[in-house]
Amino acid sequence: MFQEVNDNISFEKTEVSKMNMDMNNCMNPCSNMVCPSVCEMPREKVCHRYFCYDVPHIIPCNTRIINHHIYKHSYIPQYTCCEENECCNVYEKEQNNFF
């Protein structure tokens, strides 16, 4: 003989009537009676825990060096000079003075 009371909590009929009497006695401040325990909804405390992990990522990085050889061509003329001497003999008609 079970009677369902408040959210699937079961009591016998005799306990329910006794509980009603005890509740009446709790209202009376002169009484030395103890009220029955009240089962309340459970409270839940949530503890967040964080775990940090170091995960190394290897990224190969190649450096390519390209050497550029640039040849700049310039034209520099080299001048030369030559000199010639040319001799001429001039004879005048009167050559008596020399002989």
Q: What are 27-59's pLDDT values in tens digits?
A: 555 567 888 888 898 889 999 999 999 999 999
Highest mean pLDDT among 1-5, 11-15, 38-42, 67-71: 67-71
> Against a cut of 0.75, is the pTM above it?
no
Give the per-residue pLDDT at 49: 93
- Which parts of the chain fold into alpha helices (H)? 13-27
Give the per-residue pLDDT at 4: 44
**Furthest-apart CA atoms within the chain: distance in Å:** 185
CB 11 within 8 A of CB 2: yes
- Measured over the CA atoms of residue 14, residue 16, residue 21 and residue 25, the dihedral's sign is positive
